[in-house]
Amino acid sequence: MKRKSDQYWKSNIKIVSSLLVIWFIASFGFGIVFSESLDQIKIGGFKLGFWFAQQGSIYVFVLIIFLYVWLMKRLDKKLSQEEDK
Amino acid sequence: MTTQLLTYIFVGVSFALYIGIALWSKAQSTNDFYVAGKGVHPVANGMATAADWMSAASFLSMAGLIAFLGKDGSVYLMGWTGGYVLLALLLAPYLRKFGKFTVPDFIGERYYSKTARKLAVICLIFISFTYIAGQMRGVGIVFSRFLEVDINTGVIIGMAIVFFYAVLGGMKGITYTQVAQYCVLIFAYLVPAIFISILMTGNPIPQIGFGSTMVDSDIYLLDKLDQVTKDLGFTAYTENVKSNIDIFCITAALMFGTAGLPHVIVRFFTVPNVGAARQSAGYALIFIALLYTTAPAVSAFARMNLIDSIQDQPYSTSPSWFKNWEEIGLIAWQDKNMDGKIQYSAGNALEDIKPKYTNNRGDSGERAVENNPNPSNGNEIYIDRDIIVLANPEIAQLPGWVIALVAAGGLAAALSTAAGLLLVISSSISHDLLKKTYMPNITERKELKYARIAAAVAIGIAGIFGIYPPAFVAQVVAFAFGLAAATFFPALFLGIFYKRLNKEGAIAGMLCGLIFTASYIIYFKFINPEINNADYWFFGISPEGIGAIGMILNFSLALVISSLTNPPPKEVLSMVDEIRQP
């Protein structure tokens, strides 16, 4: 039992940290640090760096949370199945 | 029907709706009052969280702020949405599992200390009152401009409404009114944005219209805006003025601050289980993103429209919205070159920035000001940024009902946030200070009564802030986020993810974050405001962004002190194990 919950916690940390890497890249990376270089690329009327800073990062945030909900649901299911065994 | 009559009808109907909901959802127990009986559906909680979160500042001020800041304004967009990722992934599910009533509750029990609990209550009250003052100003502005009542009367009406549903319904009443308020505010935000997007770009979706070409031309809106702003002496709209390190720190302080705000966290205590808390954070962010991705489009449209409609216009034929806002004191014009026309360009038009009106009229009929003109530039107008969203429908010449709708939406945004804040203040007093610290023997009925009294007193104080707004309101917004980032976020995060953190570490960390951040802001905002610029800042970080550094100090000190003192007791360790399980 103890081992299973440790396992669960480890997988949880892995999910959370990889999602936070995406979070960081989309906002601090594309929206701030590399924003000016991305501005060289244009999509429609948007410079790409500007688009990430004012639009794109927010869409990515929403996707991250729903990805998290889905991954955790799967993980919770796995845990409860193992407990039933 | 006149716009004013329509406004009365819209505001009246929405208020009646809020009162009806309050009567329907009266709180019966402390469980109802603090956390709405923990039975709120994740989608409903998502809407309530969005309304709770989107304040008068988001609804009224943000688009205006971005319109004038251009790309620098992105800090608010990323900061105030990115925090939800942290909240969803790092805090909300675990705090829901913990399953108590308030944020100081968690800190008090996780760090087995009444001192930690009291420190948390002090931070919470400070953060929440700072925030409320801004909401009451928002209520006052809407009332005075659109209903033409005195600002004080407006504040009192707003207080009475909040009093009714917060004191009666507690969290339960607030939750369901916030759901209604979200619907009102988002509708009120999107309708004018869609209209203006169609007018300017022919595309009904503002998020896309923003990156499209202007109607009847093949020039992109943003390119045109860059050109126009540069011609007037500003930095191009889509380029940064602030340094990257400052933008980085401000964004971080706003994100971590958002995740640490007690009135937002407590919303996740109201859903039935951990899975629902995770989902609910996702829904909340969708509902918030709807407004936050529209706002920058509104900003760009508004800046463009504003310049088009007043530049080089003779004052005598200037649009009526210009004169209306001038009467309220949020616009001023000083004809520097005496040509009778309005010229707008970079720089502050007046010395001392804010206009001081005299009772006289100028040569063109404008309200004269006694400020000396600022000789260093040719800019002739002062515009308060808070008016952009409210004035936008008028500037774009939209029909009267749209203007009335925006007024009702602004009130919904201000009232929903004020109610959420009042609730966390009252529950931290009745639950954390009285029940858990000073009066452990009171019954649940008594506790509920104290919660209601505390809510009533807090509303009174908030109202006084609204009627006599402290001059420092604008300056202290940085406080709320900076302090939440520098105190609550590390204590909550480490409490869940680092078992070894003990009470000595947590208290030292919170105190250090609090003192460092508060002194930095007070030093630059109040003691030496004249040297509040990048040359004097610590590594070029403005007071708005300093919370990020305060947070790092909190983390480091908490970890060092913890490793030098005794580990936390066994019960606490098993409590942490417990909240880590779904």
Residue-wise pLDDT for B240-294, tens only, equals 888 888 888 889 989 999 998 988 888 888 888 888 889 999 999 999 999 999 9
- pLDDT surpassing 70 at residue A84: no
Cα distance between residue B233 and residue B250, in whole Å: 26
Mean pLDDT across the stretch B5-11? 87
CA distance A54 to chain B (A): 5
Least confident window among B10-14, B87-91, B134-138: B134-138
- pLDDT surpassing 80 at residue B431: no
- How is chain B split into domains, by residue range? 3-306+396-468, 317-393
> What is the per-residue pLDDT for A1?
57
In a domain, A9, yes or no: no
- pLDDT surpassing 60 at residue B86: yes
Give every CB contact of residue B550 below 8 A, 6+ residues apart in sequence. B482, B483, B485, B486, B512, B513, B514, B516, B517, B520
In a domain, A84, yes or no: no
How many domains would you assign to chain A?
Answer: 1
> What is the per-residue pLDDT for B475?
56
Least confident window among B281-285, B385-389, B471-475: B471-475
Mean pLDDT across the stretch B221-238? 83
The model's confidence at residue B473, banded by pLDDT at 50, 70 and 90, is low
Report the percentage of chain B scoring pLDDT > 70.
97
- pLDDT surpassing 90 at residue B316: no
Least confident window among B93-97, B439-443, B549-553, B557-561: B439-443
**Cβ separation A69–B247 shorter than 8 A:** no
pLDDT digits (tens, 9 = 90+) for B113-132: 888 888 888 888 888 887 88
Contact yes or no for B43/B287 (Cβ under 8 A): no
Q: What is the pTM of this model?
A: 0.89
Mean pLDDT across the stretch B136-163? 77
CA distance A82 to chain B (A): 14
Cα distance between residue B384 and residue B374, in whole Å: 17
Range of the domain at A49: 14-77
> What is the per-residue pLDDT for B477?
64
| Comparison of pLDDT for A48 and B31, the residue scoring more | A48
**Cβ separation A47–B296 shorter than 8 A:** no
Pairing of strands B381-383, B331-333: antiparallel
- Interface probe with A: pick from B72, B238, B578, most Cβ of A within 10 Å: B238
> What is the per-residue pLDDT for B288?
94
In a domain, A8, yes or no: no
In the numeric block, which tokens belong to residue B338? Answer: 């005496």
Cα distance between residue B397 and residue B105, in whole Å: 51
**Cβ separation A54–B296 shorter than 8 A:** yes
Mean pLDDT across the stretch B560-573? 87
Chain B residues whose CB is inside 8 A of the A32 CB are 78, 244, 247-248, 251
Mean pLDDT across the stretch B164-172? 78
A43 touches chain B (CB under 8 A): yes
**Which residue of A46, A50, A65 is in closest CB contact with B85?**
A65
A63 touches chain B (CB under 8 A): no
In a domain, A6, yes or no: no
A30 touches chain B (CB under 8 A): no
- pLDDT surpassing 70 at residue B64: yes
Report the percentage of chain B scoring pLDDT > 90.
15
> What is the per-residue pLDDT for B474?
53
**Which residue of B81, B251, B278 is in closest CB contact with A69?**
B278
**Which residue of B251, B278, B296 is in closest CB contact with A55?**
B296
In a domain, A65, yes or no: yes
CA B3, B6, B10, B16: dihedral to nearest 10 degrees? 140
> What is the per-residue pLDDT for B476?
61
- Residue-averaged pLDDT of chain B: 84
> What is the per-residue pLDDT for B297?
92
**Which residue of A16, A65, A72 is in closest CB contact with B285?**
A65
- Interface probe with B: pick from A32, A48, A64, A81, most Cβ of B within 10 Å: A32
For chain A, count helices (H), then strands (E). Answer: 4, 2
In a domain, A82, yes or no: no
Report DSSP state, residue B39: -
**Which residue of B82, B286, B577 is in closest CB contact with A57?**
B82
The model's confidence at residue B534, banded by pLDDT at 50, 70 and 90, is low
Task: Give the ipTM.
Answer: 0.94
Nearest chain A alpha carbon to B249 = A28
Least confident window among B166-170, B315-319, B430-434, B474-478: B474-478
Roughly what angle, to the nearest 10 degrees, separates helices B244-259 and B489-497? 70
How many A-B residue pairs are in contact by the CB < 8 A criterion?
121
**Which residue of A44, A53, A61 is in closest CB contact with B285?**
A61
pLDDT digits (tens, 9 = 90+) for A38-78: 888 888 888 898 999 999 999 999 999 999 999 999 988 88
Chain B residues whose CB is inside 8 A of the A45 CB are 210-213, 220-223
- pLDDT surpassing 80 at residue B306: yes
The CATH fold of domain B3-306+396-468? Sodium/glucose cotransporter (1.20.1730)
Q: Which of B416, B99, B55 minimizes the C-alpha distance to B270? A: B99
- pLDDT surpassing 60 at residue B471: no
In a domain, A55, yes or no: yes
In a domain, A44, yes or no: yes
Chain A residues whose CB is inside 8 A of the B220 CB are 44-45
Sign of the CA dihedral running B132, B135, B140, B143: negative
